[in-house]
């Protein structure tokens, strides 16, 4: 451990912490970049399992105990509904905060968090891990350089039968998660598209929520001269490819591939591009870069203010929601579905 090794606190020891943050923190401990890690989860078994993955980690019996412990950065990886309360408490206690996506459930919560960061003069960063991938950064450069020419069409097909190792049913409730597939992976998708293409002029939205949270949704974003069509699902195997077509070529990105994408340019043919990346598990390295950026305020850190427009878009989607067409329902089932969805006339 180096003399300037940072101490980390982490709230929430569920799947994202165990599968991604723990390996990244272990890597940074090996490098001497961070020292001790203190973890809290209401489920002490989960907290102990997380701590067991690190060389030097302690468990806090309560969030108040975690807040009182010395730390340079708090990672908030709890369920979305408590992000705002925990992040604001940490900011008020003088910690920089890296908050998992979605940063907040709604724009009002997000603004409260941003205001708390400004008052405390602490950094509030959003855990939008896909912005740490070499491939998505290269795609941003390609689009913004005009190499594809005027964009003519964008399609994003993402999802599949749900397989994330959740610890309870709260993940599928508005009370804990604030929404379904749009709030979950849609946050990533909308963030990438607005990073690459800018803000759309308008949007439309439909989903299959029948009083609960949506498992499928369709978002259409209106840009001058083209439409971005986003299809997300938790039960339907999707191609899991983003495709961006322009007047001079197209590119395709396999969802969550940190380093690879395919690029076609008129007159040059198809190139399968592998971006330069350091050796190792690039997904875990991306999480390590995200933590380091939060500690240092690095250029690749994603500020809370940067994702505020995405949260506003999700608010707008839910506000403008229309029911998804479900042609397999019998007339009486369709009527019942409209009642559950709150759209019966």
- Neighbouring C-beta atoms of residue 322, cutoff 10 Å: 12
Q: Could you report the per-residue pLDDT of 74-120, keeping only the tens digit for each?
A: 999 999 999 999 999 999 999 999 999 999 999 999 999 999 999 99
According to the model, what pLDDT value does residue 279 have?
58
Mean pLDDT for 311-326 is: 94
According to the model, what pLDDT value does residue 149 have?
96
Q: Environment class of residue 279 by beta-carbon count within 10 Å: exposed (0-12), middle (13-18) or buried (19+)?
A: exposed
Q: What percent of the chain has pLDDT over 70?
A: 97
Confidence of residue 342 (pLDDT cuts 50, 70, 90): confident
Q: Which residues contact 126 (CB under 8 A, 6 or more apart)?
A: 98, 99, 101, 103, 302, 303, 304, 306, 307
Q: Which helix (H) or strand (E) holds 222?
A: strand 216-223
Q: Could you report the per-residue pLDDT of 168-204, keeping only the tens digit for each?
A: 777 888 888 889 999 999 999 999 999 999 999 999 9
Q: Could you report the per-residue pLDDT of 135-178, keeping only the tens digit for each?
A: 999 999 999 999 999 999 999 999 998 888 887 777 888 888 88
Query: 3-state class of 154 per DSSP?
Result: strand
Mean pLDDT for 307-312 is: 97
- Total residues belonging to the chain: 345
According to the model, what pLDDT value does residue 243 have?
98
This prediction has a pTM of 0.92
Residue 208 has pLDDT above 80, yes or no: yes
Residue 260 has pLDDT above 80, yes or no: yes
According to the model, what pLDDT value does residue 345 have?
63
User: Beta strands 57-59 and 34-40: pairing type?
Assistant: parallel
Question: Out of 112-121, 293-302, 307-316, which region has the weakest mean confidence (pLDDT)?
Answer: 293-302
Residue 217 has pLDDT above 80, yes or no: yes
According to the model, what pLDDT value does residue 98 have?
98
Smallest CA-to-CA distance from 278 within 17, 31, 36, 97 is with: 31
Confidence of residue 272 (pLDDT cuts 50, 70, 90): confident
* Better pLDDT: 337 or 235: 235
Mean pLDDT for 53-64 is: 95
According to the model, what pLDDT value does residue 278 have?
59
Cβ contact 299:290 at 8 Å: no
Q: Which residues contact 240 (CB under 8 A, 6 or more apart)?
A: 157, 158, 159, 160, 254, 255, 256
Residue 309 has pLDDT above 70, yes or no: yes
Give yes or no for a cis peptide into 102 (omega within 30° of 0).
Answer: yes
Smallest CA-to-CA distance from 287 within 41, 61, 77 is with: 77
Tell me what the pLDDT averaged over the chain comes to: 92
């Amino acid at each position: 451990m180096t003399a300037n090794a940072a101490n980390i606190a982490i709230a929430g020891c569920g799947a994202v912490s165990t599968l991604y943050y723990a390996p990244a923190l272990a890597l940074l401990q090996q490098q001497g970049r961070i020292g001790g890690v203190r973890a809290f989860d209401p489920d002490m078994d989960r907290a102990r399992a997380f701590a067991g993955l690190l060389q030097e980690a302690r468990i806090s019996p309560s969030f108040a105990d975690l807040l009182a412990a010395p730390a340079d950065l708090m990672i908030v990886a709890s369920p979305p509904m408590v992000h705002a309360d925990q992040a604001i408490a940490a900011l008020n206690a003088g910690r920089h905060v890296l908050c998992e996506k979605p940063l907040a459930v709604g724009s009002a919560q997000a603004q409260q968090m941003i205001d708390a960061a400004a008052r405390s003069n602490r950094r509030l960063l959003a855990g939008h891990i896909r912005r740490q991938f070499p491939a998505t950064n290269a795609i941003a450069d390609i689009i913004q350089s005009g190499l594809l020419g005027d964009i003519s069409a964008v399609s994003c097909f993402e999802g599949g039968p749900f397989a994330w190792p959740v610890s309870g049913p709260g993940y599928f409730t508005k009370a804990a998660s604030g929404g379904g597939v749009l709030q979950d992976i849609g946050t990533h998708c909308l963030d990438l598209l607005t990073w690459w293409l800018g803000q759309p002029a308008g949007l439309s939205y439909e989903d299959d929520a029948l009083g609960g949270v949506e498992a499928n949704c369709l978002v259409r974003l209106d840009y001058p001269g083209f439409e971005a069509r986003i299809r997300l699902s938790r039960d339907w195997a999707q191609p899991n490819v983003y495709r961006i077509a322009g007047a001079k070529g197209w590119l395709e990105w396999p969802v969550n591939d940190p380093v690879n994408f395919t690029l076609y340019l008129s007159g040059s043919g198809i190139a399968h591009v592998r971006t330069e990346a350091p050796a190792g598990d690039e997904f875990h390295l991306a999480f390590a870069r995200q933590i380091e950026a939060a500690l240092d305020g690095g250029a690749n850190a994603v500020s809370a203010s940067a994702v505020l427009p995405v949260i506003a878009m999700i608010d707008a989607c839910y506000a403008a929601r229309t029911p998804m067409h479900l042609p397999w329902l019998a007339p009486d089932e369709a009527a019942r579905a409209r009642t559950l969805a709150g759209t019966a006339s």
